[in-house]
Amino acid sequence: MSKVLITGAGGYIGSIAAYQLLQKGYEIVGIDNFSRGFKQPLEFLKEKFGEEKIRYYNFDIKSDLSPLFEKEKNIDAVIHYAAFLSVDESMKKPEDYFTNNVAGSQNLFTYLLKNNIKKIIFSSTCAVYGNAEYIPIDERHKTEPTNPYGASKVMVENILKWYDKLKDIKFISLRYFNVCGASDDGLIGDSKKPSVHLMQNAIRGALDLEPFYLTFPEVETPDKSPIRDYCNVVDLNEAHILALDYLMKGGKSEIINLGTGTGNSVLEIITKVKEETGKDIKLEKSSPREGEYAKAVASIQKAKDVLGWEPKRSIADSVKSLVAWYKAHPEGWKE
């Protein structure tokens, strides 16, 4: 099987991706600077699968990556997850987002070109679209982000488009809608405290692990809370594996949405967490997050047509896997 470099391998989505790829026989090289990711899930995977199948290194994507590529030869493809990803934080510290997400990605791409690695799966976001002009949002929707996080991802997509034209890099940019859930067996989940994701924080509130706060501004939806498209993290990463296979077989560069094609409001997700856990959640309000928009639901027809992908797991499945994760790891991974 192929040898794949995963950036941000110690993060929530990256560590679950490594787990799924290892189960399918891929060889994994992970990098993370561990400013926001964790070594523990990678140690867990190394113990489970062996160092010949997974190795990880402490590298920042903005740094000199020559030592990595001198040691790890014959990398076939890259899944680029490493990024800062908080809409609210990006409004307060835009400089961090443009430095890390844009300059960091460009630095990574320079080393990929030097080492003739020309297949990239890029972790993008529905935040590139901004306020929806129509629902569901397809890939033809204009990109007018309302926050620096979304803007940073558009910039990287544009860099990749130029490298496709001029340097023959082939890429799949996967525009995620909202991500939820843990690995199906509950062994790897989201360790951020608090997470940037609603469902994770609601479950931690239901399990009395930490207070839960409503952080949304009132918007024009039936219950006044934002509507989002919640995609299970395992389904999401299955799309990455199909995208890898697509590029390995000579597929052309594409930009593809990942979601479910359906939407749930913040308050609906909280109700679902209450139903699945049998627990009430004390709802407290804190200052609303900046840069939010009212509704975002994906059209996933292109993912079906190009990758043969569609999500399999329900909101209830996501809640159950996260409950299992948080019950086993109430404090998440250790720092």
Distance of CA 226 to the CA centre of its chain: 20
Residue 214: which of 194, 240, 237, 233 has the closest Cα?
194
Hey, which residues does 231 pair with through a beta bridge? 179
What is the structure's pLDDT at 70?
A: 98
Average pLDDT rounded to a whole number, residues 219-233? 94
pLDDT tens digit sequence for 234-279? 999 999 999 999 999 999 999 999 999 999 999 999 999 999 999 9
What is the structure's pLDDT at 292?
A: 73
pTM: 0.95
pLDDT tens digit sequence for 148-184? 999 999 999 999 999 999 999 999 999 999 999 999 9
Question: In which band, very low, low, confident or very high, does the pLDDT at 194 lie, cut at 50, 70 and 90?
Answer: confident
Average pLDDT rounded to a whole number, residues 64-87? 97
What is the structure's pLDDT at 260?
A: 97
Percent of the chain, pLDDT > 70?
Answer: 99
CB 300 within 8 A of CB 310: yes
What is the structure's pLDDT at 293?
A: 75
What is the structure's pLDDT at 287?
A: 80
Residue 177: which of 262, 101, 253, 97 has the closest Cα?
262
Average pLDDT rounded to a whole number, residues 99-113? 98
Domain positions in the chain are 3-328
What is the structure's pLDDT at 163?
A: 98
Residue 81: which of 189, 164, 26, 156 has the closest Cα?
156
What is the structure's pLDDT at 195?
A: 87
| Residue that has been written with the tokens 């113990």 in this structure | 47
Contacts of 158 (CB under 8 A, 6+ apart): none
Question: Is 19 one of the catalytic residues?
Answer: no
What is the structure's pLDDT at 50?
A: 98
Does the pLDDT of residue 291 top 80, yes or no? Answer: no
Burial pattern 201-224, b for ≥16 Cβ within 10 A else e, equals: bbbbbbbebeebebbbeebeeeee
pLDDT tens digit sequence for 122-142? 999 999 999 889 999 999 999
What is the structure's pLDDT at 151?
A: 98
Query: What's the token pair of residue 113?
Result: 């070109």
Question: In which band, very low, low, confident or very high, does the pLDDT at 285 lie, cut at 50, 70 and 90?
Answer: confident
Question: In which band, very low, low, confident or very high, does the pLDDT at 289 lie, cut at 50, 70 and 90?
Answer: confident
Residue 240: which of 156, 169, 174, 311 has the closest Cα?
174
What is the structure's pLDDT at 232?
A: 98
Which DSSP string do the residues of 196-247 spell out, in sequence order?
A: SSHHHHHHHHHTTSS--EE-PPP-SSTTSS-EE-EEEHHHHHHHHHHHHHHH
Which DSSP string do the residues of 101-152 spell out, in sequence order?
A: IIIHHHHHHHHHHHTT--EEEEEEEGGGT-S-SSSSB-TTS----SSHHHHH
What is the structure's pLDDT at 188?
A: 98
What is the structure's pLDDT at 114?
A: 98
Catalytic residue among 12, 149, 163, 246: 149
Class of CATH domain 3-328: alpha beta
Does the pLDDT of residue 104 top 90, yes or no? Answer: yes
Question: In which band, very low, low, confident or very high, does the pLDDT at 196 lie, cut at 50, 70 and 90?
Answer: confident
Distance, in Å, from the CA atom of 116 to the CA atom of 74, rounded to the nearest integer, reads 9
Mean residue pLDDT of the chain comes to 95
